[in-house]
């Protein structure tokens, strides 16, 4: 068992039922929350038969905290006294039990995938239209509106496509992921239901509070106001596009909680990496961090900032760095991260020219049966028939014999793979190339595998790599050109902070002076304004980086 730190023990022993824990990346938050649950039960703050509700935003986070709790609680106690769920799971539970309160059928079909996206694809919407429809439906449903009120909202001019999909949803008697919290909030407006859940849950734990939408915060407060432990870090609030309001939620939570405990020691990253992350704290409102054991990091870790003339030369250079790292520390993980897929493609093209395997995190990671089915379908793919088809998703389903699959988990996995395939084909990737991208395994295989990983900033949140190379530090890329408000540009700084904080040993940021547009025309790029902040961390330049590589104690690094 891990020996708890002083901060983790203070969280376990905190007498306040309404507690805010500021826990930046790599500070041991999951361990602290497991200890918090232990303390609440051992002190009798939550007495049987009451339970503690632990909410997370992902299945992986849910599984992580359950695993940690097994170190501190007997299995019987964990099973009988703690409920661990993500927000959609909680909302689904409320709907199944109490849909009649709002006049709906609890047997309505619950979501098991991106149904809205699937309908958009079936309608052959382009990417911009799909994005607009999904955003419109999300905005419509992040207030406690009834179905009738949602339909009235969508009846405004310019929302016709979203309205058509909403009416199809109603006709099919199904729910989407956006419907679940909307209906949960409507159900909890009934005081009798709220009283039931307040009595059932003696305490609530919210992991990653900065990712809450105002709607989700209202749901939490109906169940656990003044008896909730909120844990997270404002500097990691990067989901504004999904409705999260980090600053607003942070202010509301601070007003609610009577005690705040802040972590300031990182157990993940080297001093050099932390210096880069800390240099952005004035923009992100993050807590400056120190290394818990700075002398344990060979050479103090690595931080570097490198400029290139073109994006193509940057891709070649990053490939050389990746080769050097995989040669020296073959068992370690290298994350090559960009703000967008389009900006990352130059590294991907360069890597594809050398004999160096890599993982794309946006590619399908499929179980063996699904992978075999997809590879078989793509090997005999009728490209002309697909191009001529008016319903391309229906074509793919038939080509993969989707309707012959009867097991629900098999159907879900195959349908997700077909959606992924559809999107690549729509973007001009050939069936042969789609087939070559299929990886066999599962999410854990991807997350833990050594070697080179290509991903985007949002996808990588919650993960860690031994080395991180962030490409595309140009104005218009990060911060994104569409970020015009103060809050939007603050979130862009947080995206960069999240990318940097994935690193353990070292981080390199890279930019190019010229980046081709989508049609291949060179376009001059100015450096990201965030580079002026990063400069205060004194990162090495390209020559300093070479010297660092030549003098580093790679045996010690491999063992750290």
Q: Domain check: are 84 and 229 in the same one?
A: yes
Which band of pLDDT confidence, cut at 50, 70 and 90, is reported for residue 316?
very high
- Asked if 68 contacts 42 with a C-beta cutoff of 8 angstroms, the reply is no
Q: Domain check: are 321 and 374 in the same one?
A: no
Q: Domain check: are 43 and 147 in the same one?
A: no
Report, in this order, helix, strand and coil percent for the chain, each rounded to 5.
55, 15, 30
What does the alpha-carbon distance between residue 509 and residue 468 come to, in Å, rounded to a whole number? 8
Q: Which pLDDT score, from 0 to 100, does residue 444 have?
A: 62
Q: Which pLDDT score, from 0 to 100, does residue 366 have?
A: 63
* Residue 108: C-alpha distances to residues 111, 169, 170, 173, 411 (Å): 10, 10, 10, 5, 19
The answer on pLDDT for 363 being more than 80 is no
Average pLDDT score over residue span 441-456: 80
What does the alpha-carbon distance between residue 228 and residue 256 come to, in Å, rounded to a whole number? 9
Q: What is the pLDDT of residues 523-534, one digit of tens each?
A: 899 999 999 999
Is residue 26 situated within a structural domain?
A: yes
Exposed, middle or buried: residue 114 (CB in 10 Å: 0-12, 13-18, 19+)? middle
Which band of pLDDT confidence, cut at 50, 70 and 90, is reported for residue 245?
very high
What does the alpha-carbon distance between residue 338 and residue 462 come to, in Å, rounded to a whole number? 16
In 292-435, which ranges are E strands? 302-310, 333-338, 358-360, 365-366
Q: What is the pLDDT of residues 453-469, one digit of tens each?
A: 999 998 888 889 999 99
Which of 231, 263, 295 delimits the end of a domain? 263
Average pLDDT score over residue span 29-38: 95
The answer on pLDDT for 442 being more than 70 is no
Q: Which pLDDT score, from 0 to 100, does residue 365 have?
A: 65
The answer on pLDDT for 443 being more than 70 is no
Is residue 317 situated within a structural domain?
A: yes
Which of 263, 281, 306 delimits the end of a domain? 263
Q: Is the dihedral of CA 284, 287, 292, 295 positive or negative?
A: positive
In 327-464, which ranges are E strands? 333-338, 358-360, 365-366, 439-440, 451-456
Residue 263 is given by DSSP the state -
| pTM to 2 decimal places | 0.87
Which of 383, 405, 437 delimits the end of a domain? 437
Q: Domain check: are 239 and 276 in the same one?
A: no
Token representation of residue 399: 């080509």
Which band of pLDDT confidence, cut at 50, 70 and 90, is reported for residue 356?
confident
- Asked if 64 contacts 540 with a C-beta cutoff of 8 angstroms, the reply is no
Token representation of residue 276: 């880069």
Domain span holding position 241: 6-90+185-263
What does the alpha-carbon distance between residue 41 and residue 15 come to, in Å, rounded to a whole number? 12
Is residue 95 situated within a structural domain?
A: no
Comparing 7-21, 88-102, 365-379, which segment has the lowest mean pLDDT?
A: 365-379
As a whole number of Å, the end-to-end CA separation of the chain is 19
Q: Domain check: are 287 and 432 in the same one?
A: no
Exposed, middle or buried: residue 517 (CB in 10 Å: 0-12, 13-18, 19+)? exposed
Q: Domain check: are 352 and 481 in the same one?
A: yes
Nearest residue to 52 via CA among 64, 68, 41: 41
Residue 82 bridge partners (DSSP): 52
Is residue 292 situated within a structural domain?
A: yes
Residues in the chain: 560
Name the average pLDDT for the chain: 92
Q: Which pLDDT score, from 0 to 100, does residue 9 have?
A: 93
Is residue 462 situated within a structural domain?
A: yes
Q: What is the pLDDT of residues 46-85, one digit of tens each?
A: 999 999 999 998 777 888 899 999 999 999 999 999 999 9
Is residue 479 situated within a structural domain?
A: yes
Comparing 165-169, 343-347, 447-451, 545-549, which segment has the lowest mean pLDDT?
A: 447-451
Residue 111 is given by DSSP the state P
Is residue 180 situated within a structural domain?
A: no
Which band of pLDDT confidence, cut at 50, 70 and 90, is reported for residue 189?
very high
Name the more confident of 452 and 414. Answer: 452
Q: Domain check: are 474 and 535 in the same one?
A: yes
Q: Domain check: are 460 and 549 in the same one?
A: yes
The answer on pLDDT for 435 being more than 80 is yes
What does the alpha-carbon distance between residue 414 and residue 261 come to, in Å, rounded to a whole number? 45
With a pLDDT cut of 90, the percent of the chain lying above it is 78
Q: What is the pLDDT of residues 262-297, one digit of tens each?
A: 999 999 999 999 999 999 999 999 999 999 999 999
Count of CB atoms situated within 10 Å of the CB of 22:
23
Nearest residue to 504 via CA among 446, 450, 550, 441: 450
Count of CB atoms situated within 10 Å of the CB of 132:
17
Name the more confident of 443 and 283. Answer: 283
Is residue 179 situated within a structural domain?
A: no
- Asked if 237 contacts 229 with a C-beta cutoff of 8 angstroms, the reply is no
Q: Which pLDDT score, from 0 to 100, does residue 138 have?
A: 96
Q: What is the pLDDT of residues 133-148, one digit of tens each?
A: 999 999 999 999 999 9
The answer on pLDDT for 500 being more than 70 is yes
Q: What is the pLDDT of residues 1-28, one digit of tens each?
A: 568 888 899 999 999 999 999 999 889 9
The answer on pLDDT for 496 being more than 60 is yes
CATH number of the domain where residue 31 is located:
3.40.50.300
Domain count of the chain? Answer: 4
């Amino acid at each position: 068992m891990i020996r708890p730190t002083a901060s983790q023990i203070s969280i376990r022993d905190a007498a306040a039922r309404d507690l805010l824990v500021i826990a930046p990346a790599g500070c041991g938050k999951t361990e602290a929350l497991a200890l918090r649950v232990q303390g609440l039960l051992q002190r009798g703050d939550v007495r049987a038969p009451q339970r503690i509700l632990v909410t997370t935003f992902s299945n992986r986070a849910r599984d992580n905290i359950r695993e940690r709790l097994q170190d501190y609680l007997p299995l019987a106690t964990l099973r009988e006294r703690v409920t661990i769920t993500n927000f959609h799971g909680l909302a689904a539970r409320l709907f199944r039990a109490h849909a009649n309160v709002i006049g709906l059928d609890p047997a309505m079909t619950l979501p098991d995938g991106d149904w809205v996206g699937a309908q958009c694809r079936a309608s052959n919407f382009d990417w911009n239209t799909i994005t607009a429809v999904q955003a419109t439906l999300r905005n419509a449903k992040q207030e406690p509106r009834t179905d009738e009120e949602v339909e009235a909202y969508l009846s405004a001019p310019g929302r016709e496509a979203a309205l058509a999909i909403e009416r199809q949803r109603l006709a099919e008697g199904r729910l989407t992921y956006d419907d679940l919290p909307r209906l949960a909030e409507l159900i909890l407006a009934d005081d009798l239901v709220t009283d039931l859940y307040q009595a059932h849950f003696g305490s609530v734990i919210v992991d990653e509070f900065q990712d809450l939408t105002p709607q989700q915060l209202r749901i939490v407060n109906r169940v656990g106001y003044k008896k909730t432990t909120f844990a997270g870090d404002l500097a990691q609030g990067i989901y504004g596009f999904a409705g999260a309001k980090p600053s607003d939620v942070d202010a509301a939570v601070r007003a609610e909680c009577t005690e705040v405990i802040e972590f300031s020691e990182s157990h993940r990253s080297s001093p050099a990496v932390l210096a880069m992350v800390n240099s952005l704290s004035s923009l992100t409102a993050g807590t400056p961090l120190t290394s818990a054991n700075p002398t344990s990091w060979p050479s103090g870790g690595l931080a570097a900032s490198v400029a290139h003339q073109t994006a193509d030369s940057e891709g070649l250079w990053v490939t050389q760095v990746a080769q050097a790292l995989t040669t020296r520390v073959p068992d370690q993980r290298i994350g090559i991260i960009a703000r967008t897929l389009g900006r990352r493609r130059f590294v991907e093209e360069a890597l594809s020219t050398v004999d160096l395997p890599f993982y794309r995190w946006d590619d399908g990671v499929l179980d063996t049966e699904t992978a075999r089915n997809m590879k078989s379908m793509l090997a005999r793919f009728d490209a002309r028939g697909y191009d001529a088809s008016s319903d391309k998703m229906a074509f793919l389903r038939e080509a993969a014999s989707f309707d012959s699959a009867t097991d629900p988990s098999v159907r879900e996995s195959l349908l997700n793979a077909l959606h992924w395939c559809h999107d690549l084909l729509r973007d001009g990737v050939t069936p042969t190339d789609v087939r070559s991208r299929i990886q066999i395994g599962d999410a854990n295989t991807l997350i833990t595998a050594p070697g080179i990983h290509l991903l985007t900033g949002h996808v990588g949140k919650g993960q860690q790599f031994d080395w991180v190379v962030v490409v595309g530090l140009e104005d218009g890329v990060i911060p994104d050109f569409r970020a015009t408000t103060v809050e939007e540009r603050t979130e862009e700084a947080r995206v960069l902070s999240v990318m940097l904080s994935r690193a353990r040993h070292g981080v390199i940021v890279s930019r190019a002076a010229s980046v081709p547009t989508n049609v291949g025309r060179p376009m001059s790029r100015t450096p990201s304004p965030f580079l002026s902040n990063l400069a205060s961390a004194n990162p090495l330049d390209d020559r300093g980086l070479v010297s660092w590589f030549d003098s580093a104690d790679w045996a010690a690094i491999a063992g750290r």
